[in-house]
Amino acid sequence: MTIRKKEAAPFETSELRRSLKEFLSTPYPTGIDQEVKPIGWFKWGVYIFYDYDGEPIYVGQTKEKVSGRISRHLTNQRTDAVAMSVLDPYEVYEIEIFPLPKFQHLSAKDKAARETLDALEFKVHQVAVKQSKFGAILNEKDPPTPVRDVALPEPVRGRIVSDEVRKLRGHPDTRTARRAQVVARLAQTISERDVKVGLRRTLFTQTTRLQSLAGERFEAAGGAASVEKGSEGSDEEGKKQIE
């Protein structure tokens, strides 16, 4: 029997994993003496995903290891947000994490810790929406009104896309095409299921983001003043477009 060698992951995949691992290794104080741990080690926290324009696109919370939760979003271990085309992992360029070190050793069922986490998610969600030029992010649901207050912890923010991967994924035309595919999949999902209003809002937000990106590209190419003149349907014009 021939034993096949395990093939290496594609360049983009291995680069993204490397960059994500590097970011999640960023040291962060535990609050105990001078002890620090990698930011991905912390169990409780809230995070924001940003796209290639620095636009906040998604807010999430975790009561498990931060590195595990975020990795499932961005690798082949799909989450509900990815499966429903709410979040496209290819859009994520930077991550910002707000950890809650003082709850590190508490159970995920601890009531006070859960209420604090929910309050933090509510506050971070507000921050993200305020930062957005669209006044909206892609989350299907809004966080519940908190029952307690919480101060924003010092966050850690960093990019998870190397310069090499940015060259492959960051071009506006590539991003426009990708975003259009996500919009189409999300619209198809909505047409086939009885969905909540929040998912329709996500579709609206994503189409607004698509229109904005396509519009910026159009204006960068010269806009309406640069549109070619000629008869539609000309074979010669079609050949020139292809060439």
Per-residue pLDDT tens digits for 176-220: 999 999 999 999 999 998 989 999 999 999 999 999 999 999 999
User: Across 68-217, where does the E strand assignment appear?
Assistant: 94-99, 156-159
User: Across 54-213, where does the E strand assignment appear?
Assistant: 56-62, 94-99, 156-159
15-27: b (≥16 Cβ within 10 Å) or e? bbeebbeebbeee
Q: pTM score, two decimals? A: 0.89
Under 8 Å between Cβ of 152 and 124: yes
Rounded Cα distance between 19 and 79, Å, is 20
67: in domain = yes
146: in domain = yes
DSSP string across 177-243: HHHHHHHHHHHHHHHHS---HHHHHHHHHHHHHHHHHHHHHHHHTTGGGG---S-TT-HHHHHHHH-
Percent of the chain with pLDDT over 90: 74
Supply the mean pLDDT for the chain. Answer: 90
**How many CA atoms within 13 Å lie on the side-chain side of 52?**
23
Bridge partners, 193 (sequence order): none
Q: Which of 174, 216, 203, 163 is nearest to 15 (CA)?
A: 163
57: in domain = yes
pLDDT top residue among 238 and 100 = 100
Under 8 Å between Cβ of 134 and 208: yes
Given phi > 0 = left and psi -120 to 50 = alpha, else beta, which region is 164?
alpha
Q: Please give the tally of structural domains in the chain.
A: 1
106: in domain = yes
Residue 3 confidence (pLDDT): 61
- Say yes or no to pLDDT of 56 above 80: yes
122: in domain = yes
35: in domain = yes
- Say yes or no to pLDDT of 77 above 70: no
What are phi and psi for residue 219, nearest 5 degrees? -65, -35
Q: Which of 101, 79, 103 is nearest to 89 (CA)?
A: 79
Contacts of 152 (CB under 8 A, 6+ apart): 98, 120, 123, 124, 127
pLDDT top residue among 62 and 9 = 62
Least confident piece of the model among 7-21, 144-158, 209-223: 7-21
166: in domain = no
One-letter amino acid for residue 191 of the chain? S
Residue 99 confidence (pLDDT): 97
Kindly report the CA angle at 173 between 170 and 177, in degrees rounded to 5? 100
Give residue 96's pLDDT band: very low, low, confident or very high (50, 70, 90): very high
181: in domain = no
Give residue 84's domain range: 11-161
